[in-house]
């Protein structure tokens, strides 16, 4: 069960956006596994994709279409990644895009395909094409819950959040959904995220805003240290609210929107970790007093991705020497261990590079028994800081991934 994560309560419609989902038969069990997001061609869009060199065919196609088209549809399937298939995969992605384009009278360049699921299995093109008319017929404003379910793979819960912003000249809505549970680490961490707003924002500004928001949210999570071939984060701004165009995010309405978008992204990113495959604990790793944010992130990721650290958290074992060892092997030059201090929640375990005199095993055990734990690492070599959110590594993670294709 996801750690501290509950079912979605409410997802607000966004003016200018319609969504739908249906069962195309991609999964063995019957469930919704195909989703569609539709928006006006006057909308502005931005996206970030995986940095994995073996990026999936839909990523290749979506990138090209974003450069050459004016997107109006996102077509998303779960259960099949359409990755590791070379030109055949690209042609399959284009085939379903062409079919949707023909059915809706839309240029094929205006369709962005997304896939998630098993790698190196041919995309079931015939099933997807057969389901597209149903998918188009079901489009409506209030089906966000349906598409949040349809994009899931090993997730135990759908992930979504909405925010309504009161501006001096009207209201702006932001709604976002995401999927992800395993194969998660920064650089788009297997995750997909879709965010829609009726705000009026220039395309370049929107891309810069998404880049910044993702850097402080989706690129701050790790479940198992693996980056998928299919990861993507997409945002559309329809401009259909009555609020004036946002031209700056430094103050006023622009700053409020920027902070609200970051809040949405952080919630979705943390939800992915809370629902990490087999997760029983949610762990925040804060690294401070570094020379740069980059080296702080390096230390945090080294700790977060350590199997020994993660299994100790799963066992609720205050074997914090594993944290110390992970810090020591992180790629930092001239690390002075005598300046390092570490705490678990409010319990100091290391001071000046060695076991804190005040530390007791009972205090450490009390912290490790909790579902949510904060690790605070102070490097004593600067003023920079960073945070990474992660989870433990359990027997269930091994079972899920060993049985993934069975």
- The active-site residue, picked from 116, 175, 190, 238, is 190
In a domain, 98, yes or no: yes
In a domain, 1, yes or no: no
The H or E element spanning position 211 is helix 203-215
CA 16 to chain centroid, in Å, comes to: 24
Same domain, yes or no: 328 and 193? no
In a domain, 3, yes or no: no
Note if 190 is an active site residue: yes
Rounded to the nearest integer, the mean pLDDT of the chain is 93
User: What tens digit of pLDDT does each residue of 286-311 get?
Assistant: 999 999 999 999 999 999 999 999 99
User: What tens digit of pLDDT does each residue of 60-99 get?
Assistant: 999 999 998 889 999 999 999 999 999 999 999 999 999 9
- Chosen domain end from 258, 274, 290: 274
Q: Does residue 196 have a pLDDT over 70?
A: yes
Same domain, yes or no: 378 and 395? yes
pLDDT given for residue 183 in this prediction: 59
Domain count, the chain: 2
In a domain, 351, yes or no: yes
- Domain coverage including residue 141: 17-274
- Chosen domain end from 274, 297, 320: 274
In a domain, 2, yes or no: no
CA neighbours closer than 13 Å in the CB half-sphere of residue 229: 21
Same domain, yes or no: 205 and 119? yes
Three-state SS for 19? strand
Angle between helices 203-215 and 252-274 (to 10 degrees): 40
Q: Does residue 118 have a pLDDT over 80?
A: yes
Same domain, yes or no: 326 and 236? no
pLDDT band at 404 (very low <50, low <70, confident <90, very high): low
Residue 196: strand pairing partners:
175, 236
Same domain, yes or no: 135 and 28? yes
Three-state SS for 357? coil
Could you tell me what percent of the chain has a pLDDT over 90? Answer: 82
Same domain, yes or no: 98 and 231? yes
Same domain, yes or no: 265 and 287? no
- pTM of the full structure: 0.95
Same domain, yes or no: 182 and 254? yes
CB 280 within 8 A of CB 369: no
Residue 237: strand pairing partners:
44, 197
Residue 210: strand pairing partners:
none
CB 343 within 8 A of CB 310: no
Same domain, yes or no: 248 and 336? no
Angle between helices 86-104 and 57-68 (to 10 degrees): 50
pLDDT given for residue 278 in this prediction: 82
Same domain, yes or no: 37 and 176? yes
pLDDT band at 52 (very low <50, low <70, confident <90, very high): confident
User: What tens digit of pLDDT does each residue of 341-384 get?
Assistant: 999 999 999 999 999 999 999 999 999 999 999 999 999 999 99
pLDDT given for residue 406 in this prediction: 52
CB 177 within 8 A of CB 194: yes
CB 288 within 8 A of CB 296: yes
Q: Residue 58 and residue 63: Cα distance in Å, rounded?
A: 8
Q: Which two tokens stand for residue 126?
A: 């015939």
- Chosen domain end from 241, 274, 307: 274
Same domain, yes or no: 55 and 136? yes
Q: Residue 149 and residue 160: Cα distance in Å, rounded?
A: 10
CATH of the domain at 262: 3.60.70.12
CATH of the domain at 331: 3.10.20.340
Q: Residue 245 and residue 261: Cα distance in Å, rounded?
A: 16
In a domain, 392, yes or no: yes
Q: Which residues are within 8 A (CB) of 244 and not within 5 positions of it... i.e. 6 or more apart?
A: 169, 200, 253
In a domain, 8, yes or no: no
In a domain, 7, yes or no: no
Q: Residue 313 and residue 320: Cα distance in Å, rounded?
A: 9
Same domain, yes or no: 265 and 321? no
CA neighbours closer than 13 Å in the CB half-sphere of residue 364: 20
């Amino acid at each position: 069960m996801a750690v501290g994560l509950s079912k979605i309560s409410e997802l607000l419609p966004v003016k200018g956006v319609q969504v739908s989902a249906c069962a195309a038969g991609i999964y063995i069990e019957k469930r919704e596994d195909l989703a569609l997001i539709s928006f006006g061609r006057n909308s502005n869009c931005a996206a970030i994709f995986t940095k994995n060199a073996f990026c999936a065919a839909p990523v290749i196609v979506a990138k090209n279409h974003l450069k050459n088209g004016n997107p109006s549809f996102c077509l998303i399937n779960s259960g099949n990644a359409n990755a590791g298939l070379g030109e055949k995969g690209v042609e399959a992605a284009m085939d379903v895009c062409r079919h949707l384009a023909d059915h809706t009278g839309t240029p094929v360049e205006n369709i962005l395909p997304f896939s998630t699921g098993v790698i190196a299995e041919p995309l079931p093109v015939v099933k997807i094409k057969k389901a597209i008319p149903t998918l188009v017929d079901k489009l409506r404003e209030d089906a966000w819950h349906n598409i949040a379910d349809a994009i899931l793979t090993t997730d135990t819960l759908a992930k979504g959040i909405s925010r309504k912003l009161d501006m001096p000249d009207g209201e702006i809505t932001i709604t976002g959904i995401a999927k992800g549970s395993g194969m998660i680490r920064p650089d788009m961490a297997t995750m997909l995220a879709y965010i829609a707003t009726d705000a009026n924002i220039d395309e370049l500004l929107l891309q810069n805003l998404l880049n910044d928001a993702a850097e402080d949210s989706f690129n701050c999570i790790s479940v198992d240290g693996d980056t998928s071939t299919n990861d993507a984060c997409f945002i559309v701004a329809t401009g259909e609210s009555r609020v004036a165009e946002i031209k700056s995010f430094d103050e006023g309405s622009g700053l409020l929107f920027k902070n609200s978008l970051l809040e949405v992204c952080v919630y979705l990113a943390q939800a992915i970790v809370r629902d990490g495959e087999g997760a029983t604990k949610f762990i925040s790793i804060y690294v401070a007093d570094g020379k740069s944010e980059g080296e702080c992130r390096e230390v945090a990721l080294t700790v977060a991705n350590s199997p020994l650290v993660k299994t100790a958290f799963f066992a609720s074992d205050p074997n914090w020497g594993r944290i110390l060892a992970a810090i020591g092997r992180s790629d930092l030059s001239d690390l002075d261990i005598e300046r390092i201090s570490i705490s678990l929640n409010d319990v100091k375990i290391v001071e000046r590079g060695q076991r804190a005199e005040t530390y007791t095993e009972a205090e450490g055990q009390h912290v490790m028994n909790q579902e949510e734990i904060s690790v605070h690492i102070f490097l004593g070599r600067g003023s920079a800081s960073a945070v990474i959110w992660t989870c433990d590594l359990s027997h269930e993670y091994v079972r899920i991934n060993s049985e993934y294709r069975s």
